[in-house]
Amino acid sequence: MTDAHHGPVHPTPDAVATLRPLSLDEVGFAPDGFLGAWQHRNAASTLPHCVRMLDEAGAMDNLRRTAAGDSGGFRNMWFADSDVYKTLEAASWQLALTPEREDLRAFVDTTGALLAKAQDDDGYLNSHFTLVAPEKRWQELHWSHELYCAGHLVQAAVAATRAGVGAEAVAVARRFADLIVERFSAVDGTDGHPEIETALVELYRSTGHRPYLDLAGRLVDLRGRGLLPAERFGPGYLQDHVPVREAAEVTGHVVRQLYLLAGIVDVAVETHDLPLLDTAVRLWEDAFGTKMYVTGAHGSRHRDEAYGDPYELPPDRAYGETCAAIAGFHLSWRLLLATGEVRYADEMERALYNVIAGSTAIDGTHFFYSNPLHLRTGHDGSHEDAPSQRLSWYSCSCCPPNLARLVSSLHGYAVTTDDSGLQMHLYGDGVVRSTVDGVPVEITVVTQYPWDGRVTLVVEGGGEWTLALRVPGWCTEATTDVESTSDGGYLRVTRDWTRATEVVLTLAMPPRFVAPHPRIDAVRGCVVLARGPLVYCVEQTDLPDGVVLEDVRVDPFAPVAVGAAEGVPVTLRAAGAIERPGADELYPPVGAIVPLPAALTLTAVPYALWGNREAGPMRVWVPVSSARSGT
């Protein structure tokens, strides 16, 4: 069996899987649709920007110095090799899409050659430890990120293998992976930052070499055994406070937690370890049921980049790291494949169209690391931990190359297959060319989604089979113009497709207001404007002069008009008010906050597009006017 063209997650035929992903060459987004345009921007702007910034930030130079046999002179974060690997992965996926991109091919080839030179004779590769502290190799696993970096190298190698590029980088990764298997099969130890687990499983899937899977399973079960010194962050930060299978809730550093869970699902489905899969489901339910923002962001504490308590979801102090949203997307995809449950696809969509889309500027070269839901008037945006606008790079720049690798492989997450036919989870303008029972089928998708809920599909080939179309959780009225049955969150059309047949799926997407769970104290009394999968926000730039964003309130019972603005295909206009205490007191008596007489029409724009017209205050959750809330 060849591994060519497979996407980032490709379970083996023996794995526990309700659904199976299509290969990357079976799905393509049209360049003028939302997702296709995003991929185009990623390829044209984000990826070359990442390649350039790796040089400017010193990450490539670290590897060059290592290759030259130098010592010292390391620049950037000690895990900066991972930025190179994520970019290598992104470039590989992109070359599968656009093999004519000679610039990316050159990057992949020169990086592969560089890695081969930088790699030690025994297979070890880490520029920080080789240049700065060779005696500490494998000695500080709780903090060293050595296996984390190796994991990203492995994932890059899997991408390169599947794209048919980068043979030299692939060989380097295999040698390093073999060294890791040799050492960590014999020695108890694991990395403070999970990532190697999911990477090793995918390398097993790509190569069929069982020791990679066995080690991944071993590393999962070594967690929570006190092998990692907790130091000042505590063991929960590292998800090392309790054995994985006994964990009752997500905790600690969010990206670590979600990468670990992705690895857990991978191990569970390949080893048929259903209790372990149940663990992942349980923790997903905790994360997505009590600790996720309405934008799909995870992580409510800047301190330790961590999950907070259940329902602790402050909008202004949201951390919501971009990498965490991407990790949540990866996790949900794995659980969608394993279970076929629509809730996982719904959460992929929420994150994709809101926090992930919003983390990149429309120029493709500026990014948010933290993704707040409220940027206050007077916010001090001077620190990159919570800037007022997207930055071109960060001192820890894990997010931009993570975005690049996700977006360049995004078409791999849209459609799946099972014995009944094909399932469409994400709607993008484009073409699906696959097979059902070995017979070729083609689906041409035409849609303006997410701006419009009409999805026209022309389906041809394969005899009788079932096309399943996801009905998003936000949608209360979904129809097809041909006979379909509603089942498990999908409209299923079963018919003989030998002759080309058009199916029109209509997902009603009127503007709606979303309320918070009553336990989310931080936004009690507030609502969110939404339409379709998109969460909207109010920006200062759309308010009249002199109106302070925090004084604005909204009437959720008045009609909302749909409009458009420059660069914003759909805006929402709601009835608003301005409310302040009669005297400008910090703590006025109850009843003293009153609406000013002037009515206000609030214009809201998709959160995905905020901060692209003008830097300034923004809020997703808007307080309900006192006339409506009774306060």
Tell me which residues are annotated as active site.
305, 398
From 46-54, 316-324, 383-391, 430-438, give the range in contact with Zn ion by CB under 5 A: 316-324
Q: Residue 396 region, left (φ>0) first, then alpha (ψ -120 to 50), else beta?
A: beta
Candidates 87-95, 315-323, 415-423, 424-432; binding stretch for Zn ion (CB under 5 A): 315-323
Residue 524 belongs to what H/E stretch?
A: none
Closest to Zn ion by CB, 264 vs 398, is 398
| Least spacing, CB of residue 403 vs Zn ion, in Å | 9
Residue with tokens 């610039």: 103
- What is the C-alpha to C-alpha distance for residues 120 and 271, in angstroms, rounded to an integer? 32
Both structure tokens of 196: 């190697």
Asked if 326 touches Zn ion (CB under 5 A), the answer is no
Question: Least Å distance between CB 402 and Zn ion?
Answer: 6
The residue among 305 and 539 lying less far from Zn ion, judged by its C-beta, is 305
* Size (the chain), residues: 631
Minimum CB distance to Zn ion smaller for 77 or for 323: 323
Residue nearest to Zn ion (CB): 323
Q: Find where tokens 């403070």 sit.
A: 192
DSSP state of 83: H
Query: Taking the complex as a whole, how short is the minimal distance between the CB of residue 500 and Zn ion, in angstroms?
Result: 44
**Beta-ladder partners of 562:** 572
**256/411 with CB nearer Zn ion:** 256
Q: Is 478 in the site for Zn ion (CB under 5 A)?
A: no
CB of residue 396 to Zn ion, shortest distance in Å: 7
Q: Which is nearer to Zn ion, 387 or 472 (CB)?
A: 387
Q: If you ran DSSP here, which 8-state letter would residue 72 be given?
A: S
Strand, coil or helix: what is 543? coil
Distance CA 364, CA 53 (A): 13
Stretch that binds Zn ion, among 125-133, 392-400, 462-470, 619-627 (CB under 5 A): 392-400
The region of 397-405, 433-441, 492-500, 529-537 touching Zn ion under the rule CB under 5 A is 397-405
Which residue, 371 or 416, has its beta carbon nearer to Zn ion? Answer: 371
Q: Confirm or reject binding of residue 467 to Zn ion (CB under 5 A).
A: no
Residues 14-73 that bind Zn ion (CB under 5 A): none
Question: Which of the ranges 234-242, 320-328, 430-438, 621-629 carries the binding residues for Zn ion, by CB under 5 A?
Answer: 320-328
CB of 398 to Zn ion, least distance (A): 3
- Ordered alpha helix ranges (H), 208-321: 210-222, 254-271, 274-290
Shortest Cβ distance from residue 369 to Zn ion (Å)?
A: 6
Burial class (CB in 10 A: 0-12, 13-18, 19+), 18: middle
Smallest gap, in angstroms, from Cβ of residue 132 to Zn ion?
23
How far apart are CB 12 and Zn ion at their closest, in Å? 30
Asked whether the bond before 314 is cis by omega within 30 degrees of 0, the reply is: no
**Sole binder of Zn ion in the list 77, 149, 158, 399 (CB under 5 A):** 399
Residue 357 C-beta: closest distance to Zn ion, Å = 16
Alpha carbons 193 and 205: distance in angstroms, whole number: 22
User: Considering the complex, what minimum distance in angstroms separates the CB of residue 68 from Zn ion?
Assistant: 29
Of 354, 235, 363, the C-alpha closest to 304 is 235
β-strand 485-487 against 490-496: which pairing, if any? antiparallel
Task: Tell me which stretch binds Zn ion (CB under 5 A): 275-283, 302-310, 319-327, 537-545.
Answer: 319-327
C-alpha to C-alpha distance for 490 and 487, rounded to whole angstroms: 5
What single-letter DSSP state applies at residue 479? E
Beta strand 421-424 pairing with 464-470: parallel
Number of residues that bind Zn ion (CB under 5 A): 3
What residues are paired with 506 via a beta bridge? Answer: 454, 479
For Zn ion, the closer of residues 323 and 574 by Cβ is: 323
Nearer to Zn ion by C-beta: 398 or 600?
Answer: 398
Quickly list DSSP for 446-458: EE-TTS--EEEEE
Among 157, 292, 323, 522, binds Zn ion (CB under 5 A): 323
Q: Is residue 497 a contact partner of residue 441, using CB atoms and an 8 Å limit?
A: yes
Q: How many CA atoms within 13 Å lie on the side-chain side of 626? A: 14
Least Å distance, CB 370 to Zn ion, is 9
Choose between 323 and 602: whose C-beta lies nearer to Zn ion. Answer: 323
Burial class (CB in 10 A: 0-12, 13-18, 19+), 118: buried
Contacts of 601 (CB under 8 A, 6+ apart): 573, 574, 575, 576
Residue closer to Zn ion by CB (options 77, 398) is: 398
Min dist CB 191 to Zn ion, Å, is: 17
Which span sits near Zn ion by CB under 5 A: 47-55, 118-126, 259-267, 322-330?
Answer: 322-330
* C-alpha–C-alpha distance, residues 86 and 67, integer Å: 19
CA distance 186 to 290: 39
Can residue 398 be called a binding residue for Zn ion (CB under 5 A)? yes
Amino acid identity for residue 81 in this structure: D
Residue among 370 and 540 whose Cβ is closer to Zn ion: 370
For the segment 518-537, give every residue that binds Zn ion (CB under 5 A).
none
Residue 158 or 399 with smaller CB distance to Zn ion:
399
How far does CA 476 lie from the centroid of its chain? Answer: 26
- Nearest-angstrom CA–CA distance, 436 and 262: 29
- Amino acid identity, residue 457? L
115 binds Zn ion (CB under 5 A): no
443 makes contact with Zn ion (CB under 5 A)? no
Could you say which DSSP state residue 353 is in?
Answer: I
Helix (H) or strand (E) holding 415: strand 415-418
Give the pair of three-digit tokens for residue 557.
Answer: 């019972």
C-alpha span between 277 and 380 (Å, rounded):
43
Residues that bind Zn ion (CB under 5 A): 323, 398-399
